[in-house]
Amino acid sequence: MIPPGVILAGGLARRMGGGDKGRLMLGGQSLLSHVITRLRPQVSALALNANGDPARFADLGLPVLPDGVADHPGPLAGVLAGLDWAAVQGASHIVTAAADTPFFPPDLVNRLTRAAEMQGAQIALAATPGPHKVLRHPTFGLWPVALRDDLREALAGGLRKVVLWTDRHGAASAMFPATPFDPFFNVNTPDDLAVAEGMVP
């Protein structure tokens, strides 16, 4: 079954000076628009995880899911918000993508799903080969609704680092090629945005 998708945009964008990083312009469209264009054809439904006034995203026509956990505990709070939304729809899994990562692969969902199946795992995270070791991209994952209460408890217990939680559950890795550049390049700083301009196809 094709899963619904959730775009993670709930962070504070401190390295960018705050605000909605997804609204920054890149190659004539916003980062969010790049992400929506890539994710929409791969998923059964789409939602945006973001905090603060949801009305500022009304133009996107997407459900806006706030974190249910206070004080910006990190992307796992967005994953949980997505899982709670998917549970209401009767979906078994969601796929997440980060709003600051405009070039992720068009076969993201397919490869995540296959990796979970082939490695007998409930969770799959995207990965690319790095210079010294495999790099995992923990905001790009396939997540099961069945683990949402486990995740809620982990967050309530203070867990913040994504891979600490996914390692507990033996997450699969879905490998993607990283040439000519890593498709999970993400924009954290103004310098990153300038680099990304040079990567726009």
Ligand X SMILES: Nc1nc2c(ncn2[C@@H]2O[C@H](COP(=O)(O)OP(=O)(O)OP(=O)(O)O)[C@@H](O)[C@H]2O)c(=O)[nH]1
Q: Which residues bind ligand X (CB under 6 A)?
A: 8-15, 21, 49, 67, 72-75, 77-78, 98-100, 139, 188
The answer on whether 186 is annotated among ligand-binding residues is no
The answer on whether 39 is annotated among ligand-binding residues is no
| CA dist 36 → 5, 32, 180 (Å) | 10, 6, 23
Nearest residue by C-beta to ligand X? 11
- Kindly state the smallest distance separating residue 79's Cβ from ligand X, in Å: 8
- Kindly state the smallest distance separating residue 12's Cβ from ligand X, in Å: 4
The answer on whether 9 is annotated among ligand-binding residues is yes
Euclidean distance between CA atoms 178 and 184, whole angstroms:
9
Which CB, 73 or 129, lies closer to ligand X? Answer: 73
Euclidean distance between CA atoms 99 and 46, whole angstroms:
13
| CA dist 33 → 29, 40, 69, 139 (Å) | 6, 10, 26, 18
The answer on whether 67 is annotated among ligand-binding residues is yes
Say if residues 93 and 144 touch (Cβ distance below 8 Å): yes
Q: Which residues are annotated as a binding site?
A: 8-10, 21, 49, 67, 100
Q: Which residues are annotated as a binding site for GTP?
A: 8-10, 21, 49, 67, 100
